[in-house]
Amino acid sequence: NYAIGIDIGGTKTAIGLVDSEGNVKDKLSLPTDQSVSPSEMVDRMAAAVRQLADQAGLPIESLTGIGIGAPGPLNTKLGQISEPPNLRGWWGFPVVEAVKRHFDLPVFFENDATAAALAEKWIGAARDSQHFIYITISTGIGAGIYSHGRLITGASGNAGDVGHFVVAPEAGQCVCGQEGCWEFVASGTAIARQASELLERPVSTKEAIDLAVSGDHPKMTALIERIFKYIGVGCVTLINTQDPEMLVLGGGVSQAGEPLFNAVKDYVSRYALNPTGRETRIVPAALSQDAGLIGAAALVHVSY
Ligand code: ADP
Ligand code: ZN
């Protein structure tokens, strides 16, 4: 049986037809056009869903449901996008109701990082774990918490919005108004910003990390070491609060691989509280391509 996964992002919306083993049978990508109303965007999404079903020869009624992942803050009780900074035109938009107007199918709706955590549990790096945290280090930083064998969503679907942990109060003001949030100092956006300030020219996140690792630029090495330490700081806080068996790191910045993982493991081994017998594994996410839409489809296929 098949579900539709819809991953709404600030620049594009990925829509896929996903089977009950997590295979993406077919998918489409639409630009998230913020110059049109969200309800117009939902009309386009609905047309894409019909197209995918048609191409697969599946009647809409045969689909198990539609899962939607979206950036937070949102309100899953109300089925609304709340006020994500990268989706300004969607603030307060009742997305679940809008999708239900098109289809007589069950609709599931969660924060994108929460949905990605469920996908890692379903077919990814955390299949064998009952207690883990998925952390995405991407444009921002977010997390999905899986504890005691279930997804922790919170009262309104915003549990795991860890990007606004304060880790460096001197660092400057985040979009949320606080000083020194985790994502303000350690997201992909934050790495590029600080590296560009250092070199006084535009520098991408990947270039900054490559330069740091090459050892040719000691100031960049020091900057990236400090940023990776901050990534470790947030991880320690999560380990100390949730006692997970593992952390699963995903998102674009996790593509940096070993230098990042080694730095985080080193920091965690030094500073996470260390009860007897506890060893928190830190592993890369298994799903990178299509993680968002597989996560959205997981909301339909997997009970949480
Ligand atoms: P989104 O936030 O839209 O979900 P991604 O998870 O792809 O997107 O994260 C985008 C961030 O990851 C950007 O800041 C980008 O510069 C960074 N990034 C992408 N690839 C790499 C890489 N190989 N190494 C380090 N950073 C990367
Ligand atoms: Zn913040």
Quote the pTM value: 0.96
Tens digit of pLDDT for each residue in 1-59?
999 999 999 899 999 999 999 999 999 999 999 899 999 999 999 999 999 999 999 99
**What is the model's pLDDT at position 224?**
98
CB-based contacts of 109, cutoff 8 Å, min separation 6: 67, 68, 70, 74, 76, 79, 95, 96, 157, 299
Instruction: Average the pLDDT over 95-108 and give the result.
Output: 98
% of the chain at pLDDT higher than 90: 96
Rounded CA-CA distance 74/158 in Å is: 7
Ligand nearest to the CA of residue 173, numbered in listed order: 2
Structure ipTM: 0.98
Is the pLDDT at 86 greater than 90? The verdict is no
pLDDT band of residue 276 (cuts 50, 70, 90) is: confident
C-alpha–C-alpha distance, residues 162 and 237, integer Å: 10
pLDDT band, residue 109 (cuts 50/70/90): very high
Three-class secondary structure of residue 15 per DSSP: strand
pLDDT of 186: 98
pLDDT at 289: 86
Q: Which of 85-89, 109-113, 300-304 has the lowest mean pLDDT?
A: 85-89
Report the candidate in 8, 218, 26, 158 with the shortest Cα–Cα distance to residue 93. Answer: 8
Over residues 172-190, the pLDDT tens digits come to 999 999 999 999 999 999 9
**Which residue has a Cα nearest atom 16 of ligand 1?**
205
Residue bearing the CA closest to ligand 1, atom 23: 255
Measured N-to-C along each axis, helices 258-271 and 205-214 cross at an angle, to the nearest 10 degrees, of 80
Give yes or no for residue 275 having a pLDDT over 90.
Answer: no
Best of 136, 220, 227, 253 for a ligand 1 pocket test (most atoms within 8 Å of beta carbon): 253
What's the pLDDT score for residue 282? 98
Which residue has the CA at smallest separation from atom 5 of ligand 1?
252
Strand 74-75 versus strand 66-70 pairing type: unpaired
Element (DSSP H or E) covering residue 248: strand 246-250
Ligand with an atom nearest the CA of residue 85: 2
Q: Is the CB of 221 under 6 A from ligand 1?
A: no
CA 134 → CA 116, 117, 211, 226, 251, distances in Å?
A: 8, 5, 27, 22, 10
CA–CA distance, 48 with 55 (Å, rounded to integer): 10
Cα(11)–Cα(45) distance, rounded to whole angstroms? 14
Q: Is the pLDDT of residue 277 over 90?
A: no
C-alpha closest to that of 29 among 11, 14, 42: 14
pLDDT band at 271 (very low <50, low <70, confident <90, very high): very high
Helix extents (H) in 90-168 = 95-102, 112-123
pLDDT at position 256: 97
Evaluate whether 72 touches 142 at the Cβ level (below 8 Å). Answer: yes
Mutate to test the pocket of ligand 1, among 8, 11, 138, 187 (most ligand atoms within 8 A of CB): 138
Does the beta carbon of 209 sit less than 6 angstroms from any atom of ligand 1? yes
Alpha-carbon gap, residue 119 to 146, rounded angstroms = 11
Tell whether the model's pLDDT for residue 211 goes beyond 90: yes
**Residue 10 alpha carbon, nearest atom of ligand 1:** 3
* pLDDT over 90 (residue 114): yes
